[in-house]
Amino acid sequence: MNYSEAVAFLDTDETILISTHRNADGDGIGAILALREVIDRMGRRCRIVISDERVNRKFSFLSGFDQIESIGSLSDQTRFDRAIFVDTPSFHVRRVGDVVELLNEGARVLVVDHHSGHDDEGDVRLVDPLASAASELVFRLIQEAGIEVTAEVATQIYAGIAFDTKLFKFSHPDRALKVCAELADLGADPQEIADALFAHESFETIKTLGAALSSLELHMEGRVSTLVVDHAVYAMGGDLDYVVDYATAVEGV
C-alpha cells in the first residue's frame, strides 16, 4: 500500500474515470464524491460514472451527488485511459458492471478498497483490509496529497464510514471512531449524517423489506438466517443493505 504512488496517479492531464461497484452503497458513494472534490481542487479533470440505473436518493445530501452519471444515460462515447475503482478489490464486469467497457486498452487503474481480493488487479493498489471503509483510505490519500479537507469532503468521508460500519458496529469500529473524530473536527456533523443515513427510508425500501422478510428462515440451530429477494421484489427498488441488516439482527444469528 503506497499513498505517495496513489497521489502521483492523480497528477495527470488525462480525464480520470471514477467508479465503484454495482449497487453502489454509502461507502462507495462517499468515497467517489470525495475523490471528485479533491481531483477538481488539484486542477485535474474527472467524471463519476457508475453502472446503476439510479442512485439511492438517501445519499443526495452529499455535496456533488448530482455529478454522478449512470452509464445507461451517457450521451457521448467517451473512453478513458485512467480510472479509479473504489470499494471493490477488482474491476471485473461482474463487480463494476459495464463501466469497465469505458476503459481503453492499456488504461491505467488505481484500486482503493478495504477488502482483500484474490486478484491483484490495478496498476496502483491502495488496499488495507484493516481499514474501516474505503472512505477512510480516501481520507488518508487526501491528507497525503496535502489538500485541505473541507467540511463537505469531511461529510462525504464520514458518511461513507458511518454507513459501512453501521454507526461503528462493524468493520473495525475502533479505527472508524478515531477517524470520524478527526472528520467531526473538520466540519462533519455526526447527528445530521446519522439522521440522513439511518432515520428515514424510502417507501420502496419499506415495501421491499416487507416482501423479503416474509421469506426469512433460520438454519443451523439458529446461527444462520436466510431471506430471498427475487426479481419481482428487486424491481420494487428498495435499499437491499437495509434488508440485510434485519436478517443479521435476529438473536443468535
Instruction: Summarize pLDDT for 41-97 with one digit per residue, the tens.
Output: 999 999 999 999 888 888 999 999 999 999 988 888 789 999 999 999 888 888 899
Closest CA to 241 of 208, 195, 218: 208
Residues 45 and 96: their CA atoms lie apart, in Å, by 21
pLDDT average, residue stretch 22-51: 94
pLDDT average, residue stretch 201-227: 93
Closest CA to 180 of 133, 111, 113: 133
pLDDT average, residue stretch 8-23: 94
Q: Provide CB contacts within 8 A for 118, sequence distance 6+.
A: 89
Residue with grid cell 450521451, as numbered in its chain: 75
pLDDT average, residue stretch 116-131: 83
Per-residue confidence (pLDDT) for residue 241, from 0 to 100? 79
Per-residue confidence (pLDDT) for residue 145, from 0 to 100? 92
Per-residue confidence (pLDDT) for residue 105, from 0 to 100? 93
**Residues 137-181: pLDDT tens digits?**
999 999 999 999 999 999 999 999 999 998 998 889 999 999 999
The sign of the torsion formed by the CA atoms of 108, 114, 120, 126 equals: positive
- Cell for 113? 478498497
At 113, which amino acid appears?
A: D
Range in 103-107, 119-123, 220-224 with the lowest mean pLDDT: 119-123
Residue with grid cell 477488482, as numbered in its chain: 90
